[in-house]
Chain A
Amino acid sequence: MIYLDNAATTRPDEGAVRAAMHYLQEDFFNPSALYREGFAVHKELEEARRHILSFIAAPVGFDLIFTASGSEADNQALFCTANRGNIVTTAGEHAAIYNSAKELQKRGIEVRFAKLNGDGSVNADDLLSLVDSGTSLVSVIHVNNETGAVNPIAELAKQVKQKNRSALFHSDGVQAFGKIPFSLSSEIDLYTFSAHKIGGVRGAAGLVRKKSVNVHPLIYGGGQEKGLRSGTENLFAIKQFEFAATKKFAALESDYQKIAALNRYFRENLRGDIFEILSSPQASPYILSVSAKGLRGEVLLHMLDDEGVVVGTGSACSSKNRYSRVILACGIREKNADGVLRISFSVQNTMDEAERAVSIFNRCAGALAEKMR
């Protein structure tokens, strides 16, 4: 199988799993426990927190709340900070933000959605025009999970703060963390990331918060994570995440170059008469969104699957939810929105796989186009 749906989830890094196994089997203790075994794993947890945070932020200014998923961190960012005035976000957000914003809307908070550019990045002018003195939170996805478009969050945050100093700035960085080089500037108040997109296991994610920012808990209980996220810590997942992230950040640049080469190969060799490349050349190389013009993406996905190539699609084959909200917001016509496939890479993919996959892509799409004529 050639696995090209790494934006959905990645294969857990084996070395990291092995290294973390003893937190599952031997050092299984509750980090809140008062005996020395509990205290020892508590120290391990704190070490993981400092270490993971250090990859993207200065620990003096930021703190990290471990959550169980990126969606949870996004929910906490939206529901547990913004509770007055209006919030501003974009049409290109992941469902964890978009649907949370919709829910806030139902609860009476004014939500403003900024338009997208054709590549899926947010239209900065539109975003800034929506921010006013009543804005309490702005949330902009860092790397769009469907097109890979990179939003310049540091610059956007700066401009937002120039318009309204008290507005908080959050970014969902699930598709950026460990993939594209960046570090959090002081204008960014909250940042979400998740383990399983970079070789971690599911069950560990985080919400980075600027220390001066007030966040309420989404989950109440025993007061773990300084009272901001109750629930016994998933130390195995967190430590495995730490090990996987360490490896990923050490190779960030070289991985980026390698992935960019795979991405380029697809761009250059997919049949131009069938495929339209939706992702801009400036997008994160980890995600390549293409449209098989006039064909239905899900049908092609099944054909590729039968040939051993696994890719994602933004849209489900259903009459109610046929087109991806984000792809339509990019201004793609419905006819082409139907045929969108998301190819997403990991460092485990090889050029040989890329070559084989592209050939299968071209063959399957050609056959389908022939059948649909």
Chain B
Amino acid sequence: MEKVIIVRYCEIHLKGKNRGYFEKIFMMNLEKALVGIRHEIRKPSGRYIVENFDQTRTEEILEKLSRVFGTHTLSSAYKVPAELEMIYDTVKKIAPESGSFKVITNRANKSFPLNSMQLNAEIGGRLLQDFPNLTVDVHAPQHEICIDIRENGDALIFSGHIKGAGGMPVGTSGKGVLLLSGGIDSPVAGYMIAKRGMVLEALHFHSYPYTNMQAREKVEELARILSGYTGGMTLHVVSVTHIQEAIHKHCPAEMMITLLRRFMMRIAERLAEQVGGQCIITGESLGQVASQTIEGMTSSGSVVENLPILRPLVGFDKTEIIERAREIGTFETSIQPYEDCCTVFLPKHPLIRPKTEDVLRAEQKLDVEALLEEAMLSSETVRL
């Protein structure tokens, strides 16, 4: 009797001729998640089976696999030859002592002597005899006992399903540049897009000496948490110190954020060109702060010439974003009190509805190209 883990995937079955491509990438991502842990992954039809794995690390393996995008559900199962007595012996091991239950058989191997209904009845009947405190409830059972009779002559026996992260395998939907601040929103935005199968390269702006090293460490930690879902991540860290100093020196104080955001978007687009990114992802939510009004988004978005900007949180309330951040495990890190971008230069009353002509006029006082080039040269790359 061998222990195995069954991994079921999400929407891949919707794919037609592309299915093989999706399955291959999903398999690669599962392998990547288990690097350093002894295991083998097989793919019989419609699911993945992890076997020969280090059983002392079963919980860890389940946790890691459940985070791989594309994973719908997981089950920890026993594998035995598809023979009635052996099946029942195994069922007894996982059966609850009391409460209601239901047996669910899935018979791919049609040569098994009993059909699904018959096997359900047989196993259910034996359980009722051996465990007097059990009752059958086929509609809303407390426990499900699942038996999969496979085509290769094996039976997989398990109880219950562990929910996976869902979504599409990372790598099946292109690549995007995520603007990753140290805040609550941007990691959630990144998570949501990565969940749809996109590879992320994160971009963080710092303003040392106005911001500190702890803030950067925090962003690295956020990227590390996200990389647990995406199977690794590259973080680019770019200094906007001189850009902010120049804006502060030459432009109206209330335009600091508006102009800075435009620089950030330009840098993001240039980085995307360098790394093959196909879009820019931000954690903006409409109206949340001064720079996230529709006018603010228009102003910052207008400098991006060739790429779409994805704002997956645009219609989310802060409380909804916080809820998600807690779910994905970034919240505790995000609320550490380090500033992610300089507040030294931030005006008391930032511009809420920047007008294009004012913005362009202010920007004329800056050598935008030279500042951008300098910022790009400051870029450091961290692989997580």
Inter-chain contacts of A319 with B (CB < 8 A):
337, 339, 343
Cβ < 8 Å to A, chain B residues 328-349? 337-339, 343-344
- In the complex, the chain B residue whose C-beta lies closest to that of A316 is B337
- What are 13 A-B pairs at a CB distance below 8 A? A299-B210, A300-B209, A302-B208, A305-B209, A316-B338, A317-B211, A317-B212, A317-B338, A318-B337, A320-B337, A371-B248, A371-B249, A372-B248
Q: Name the contact of A306 in the complex, choosing from B209, B245, B337, B344 (C-beta under 8 A).
A: B209
Cβ < 8 Å to B, chain A residues 260-302? 296, 298-302
B344 engages A299 (CB within 8 Å): yes
Number of interface residues of A (CB under 8 A): 17
Inter-chain contacts of B245 with A (CB < 8 A):
371
Closest 4 CB pairs of A and B: A302-B209, A318-B337, A320-B337, A303-B209
Q: Does A321 contact B (CB under 8 A)?
A: yes
Inter-chain contacts of A296 with B (CB < 8 A):
210, 344
Interchain nearest-CB distance for B9 vs A (Å)? 43
- In the complex, the chain A residue whose C-beta lies closest to that of B342 is A299
Interface-centre pick from B209, B339, B343, B344 (highest chain A CB count, 10 A): B209
Inter-chain contacts of A300 with B (CB < 8 A):
209
Give bound CA distance, A321 to B335, whole Å: 13
Inter-chain contacts of B343 with A (CB < 8 A):
319
Residues of B within 8 A of A (CB): 208-212, 245, 248-249, 337-339, 343-344
B339 engages A318 (CB within 8 Å): yes
Give bound CA distance, A321 to B339, whole Å: 11
Give bound CA distance, A59 to B95, whole Å: 70
Inter-chain contacts of B209 with A (CB < 8 A):
299-303, 305-306
A372 engages B339 (CB within 8 Å): no
Give bound CA distance, A298 to B212, whole Å: 8
A318 engages B338 (CB within 8 Å): yes
- Encode contact with B along A316-332: 1 for CB under 8 Å, 0 otherwise: 11111100000000000
Inter-chain contacts of A301 with B (CB < 8 A):
209
Give bound CA distance, A301 to B214, whole Å: 14
Interchain nearest-CB distance for B346 vs A (Å)? 11
Give bound CA distance, A321 to B338, whole Å: 9
Give bound CA distance, A298 to B214, whole Å: 12
Interchain nearest-CB distance for A364 vs B (Å)? 9
- In the complex, the chain B residue whose C-beta lies closest to that of A302 is B209
Inter-chain contacts of A305 with B (CB < 8 A):
209
- In the complex, the chain B residue whose C-beta lies closest to that of A295 is B344
Interchain nearest-CB distance for A74 vs B (Å)? 24
Interchain nearest-CB distance for A75 vs B (Å)? 24
A302 engages B337 (CB within 8 Å): no
Interchain nearest-CB distance for B73 vs A (Å)? 40
A372 engages B337 (CB within 8 Å): no
Give bound CA distance, A300 to B344, whole Å: 12
Give bound CA distance, A265 to B90, whole Å: 83
- In the complex, the chain A residue whose C-beta lies closest to that of B345 is A372
A-B contacts besides A316-B337, A371-B245, 13 pairs, CB < 8 Å? A296-B210, A299-B344, A301-B209, A302-B212, A305-B209, A316-B338, A317-B211, A317-B212, A318-B338, A319-B337, A371-B248, A371-B249, A372-B248
Give bound CA distance, A301 to B248, whole Å: 21
Give bound CA distance, A305 to B213, whole Å: 12
Give bound CA distance, A164 to B92, whole Å: 74
Interchain nearest-CB distance for B158 vs A (Å)? 46
Inter-chain contacts of B208 with A (CB < 8 A):
302
Interchain nearest-CB distance for A257 vs B (Å)? 35
- In the complex, the chain A residue whose C-beta lies closest to that of B245 is A371
Inter-chain contacts of B211 with A (CB < 8 A):
317
Give bound CA distance, A305 to B208, whole Å: 12
Interchain nearest-CB distance for A90 vs B (Å)? 26
Give bound CA distance, A371 to B343, whole Å: 14
